[in-house]
Structure 1
């Protein structure tokens, strides 16, 4: 994987295919492999770039002074500058959509089209924020994700009733277990706190271009339910696609449906 040095740290990214650029923004706790089906499908027609979040995959630790999702957006723009890319089609899932929308608001001339998947631009509801912060404290105290927490955290990302013996579930669970103490304390926990204490920017969504923006959401997404997606689509004035048989990581749970929706959208907007 190629690497760019951003804010003094190595940011690893996938760069595959040729054509108009599609930048894929990943979910918290997932590496670039959450986009494997999309990279394969989209790179036939597009140049697909997937930066890995700080402390995820092969990327280095969260840079000092990274305090907000606006910083993540600025860091993504720095990557595009290093790659001499003027315009992108941005597809962001979960935190990828949170910083992706901020990038589009910050530098609208750089974003040709925007897809917001399983994400929310409002503040985290206080009850869930406190719940996630309690999990972070447990991880911090243990210097690891304790065994009982693995099967608390992993199911959050999938539809109810997923086969917990499936490769998709077990591989993700194993990736959580594999995080080193250093990575958890230096990057994963601080990044989580940054994400879940984000500011509400819903009032800015009307500034996005409704004609070139799409909201998508797994029908069974628990952390970012369809009601949030409906609220955002209405504020933007764009259409909403609900993805059947999918939870939060809809790109992996129903990749064929997601690929078809993305290819159709990009054919009309890229």
Structure 2
């Protein structure tokens, strides 16, 4: 399994396929398996890199010096340098889009294109920020994501009508329930605070290149509703798409639609 040491810790990533490079940047609480449908399809024509957040999947603990989304963007550039990748199309979902937009502005010369999915680069609205911080505090104190907390956290990621007995839903719940105490306290909770305590980045969206950017959002995304996607797309001056029958992890709830749109976008940028 490929790893690279960054800021003293081992970052895990997938590197599959050949061709123009695509970097998949995923959601908080999910590992690289969330991209399985896209990795399988895109790697037929592209070199697909999927990096795992600190404390997620097989990546090591959150480095002590990591205190902001800008740090994550910087670390992603270290990964690209390690892989000798000069230019990449970045597809960032949720927190992946939050730090992906920062990377796009700090290193615009490294990007062929940018897809922002189910994400929002503005500050977290204060009521939801306080609510998420209270959940993180409960997880930190318990040292486990309790069944009661799972009942709250898991549905956030899916469309309201999803079958809670479906493998997608149940596998995610099982994965969260199995997270060990040290990982939760050292990496998951701090990463959550970085994510939901982020600074407002909306004023800089106009600096992005609208011609090489696409915004996508599940039509039933609850934590990052379509209104936020539209707001960002208008500021960037780029197209935006709603993913039918999908919530926050839209690429897994409607993988066929998302993969087809990504392939169209990649063809236009490479």
Structure 2: segments with no counterpart, 5+ residues: none
Provide the secondary structure at the position in 2 that maps to 1:122.
Answer: coil
Whole-Å Cα distance in 1 between the matches of residues 119 and 261 of structure 2? Answer: 17
Contact kept? 2:7, 2:65, Cα under 8 Å: no
Whole-Å Cα distance in 2 between the matches of residues 209 and 194 of structure 1? Answer: 26
Map of 1:81 onto structure 2: 81
Q: How many residues align?
A: 270
1:72 equivalent to 2:72? Answer: yes
Aligned ranges 1:41-120 → 2 under 5 Å: 41-120=41-120
Structure 1 stretches of 4+ moved >3 Å: none
Map of 1:256 onto structure 2: 256
Provide the secondary structure at the position in 2 that maps to 1:22.
Answer: strand
Contact kept? 2:159, 2:247, Cα under 8 Å: yes
Contact kept? 2:159, 2:221, Cα under 8 Å: yes
Map of 1:144 onto structure 2: 144
What's the offset of the Cα at 1:161? Answer: 1.3
1:40 equivalent to 2:40? Answer: yes
What's the offset of the Cα at 1:89? Answer: 0.3
What's the offset of the Cα at 1:84? Answer: 1.0
Provide the secondary structure at the position in 2 that maps to 1:175.
Answer: helix
Provide the secondary structure at the position in 2 that maps to 1:139.
Answer: helix
What's the offset of the Cα at 1:246? Answer: 0.2
1:26 equivalent to 2:23? Answer: no
Provide the secondary structure at the position in 1 that maps to 2:115.
Answer: strand
What's the offset of the Cα at 1:65? Answer: 1.4
Whole-Å Cα distance in 1 between the matches of residues 245 and 121 of structure 2? Answer: 24
What's the offset of the Cα at 1:147? Answer: 1.1
Residues 139-195 of structure 1 show CA distances to partners (whole Å, capped at 9, x for unaligned) of 111110111111110000000010000000000000100100000000000000010
Residues 3-57 of structure 1 show CA distances to partners (whole Å, capped at 9, x for unaligned) of 0001000000000000000000000000001100000010000000001000000
Whole-Å Cα distance in 2 between the matches of residues 133 and 201 of structure 1? Answer: 20
Residues 193-232 of structure 1 show CA distances to partners (whole Å, capped at 9, x for unaligned) of 0100000111101111100000000000000000000000
Provide the secondary structure at the position in 2 that maps to 1:104.
Answer: helix
Provide the secondary structure at the position in 2 that maps to 1:103.
Answer: helix
What's the offset of the Cα at 1:116? Answer: 0.2
What's the offset of the Cα at 1:95? Answer: 0.3
Whole-Å Cα distance in 1 between the matches of residues 133 and 146 of structure 2? Answer: 15
Whole-Å Cα distance in 2 between the matches of residues 36 and 176 of structure 1? Answer: 18
Contact kept? 2:13, 2:49, Cα under 8 Å: yes
Residues 91-130 of structure 1 show CA distances to partners (whole Å, capped at 9, x for unaligned) of 0000000011100000000011000000001000000000
Provide the secondary structure at the position in 2 that maps to 1:97.
Answer: helix
TM-score after normalising by structure 1: 0.99
Whole-Å Cα distance in 2 between the matches of residues 194 and 121 of structure 1? Answer: 13
Contact kept? 2:68, 2:198, Cα under 8 Å: yes
Provide the secondary structure at the position in 2 that maps to 1:129.
Answer: helix
Map of 2:173 onto structure 1: 173
Map of 1:206 onto structure 2: 206
Structure 1: segments with no counterpart, 5+ residues: none
Map of 1:124 onto structure 2: 124
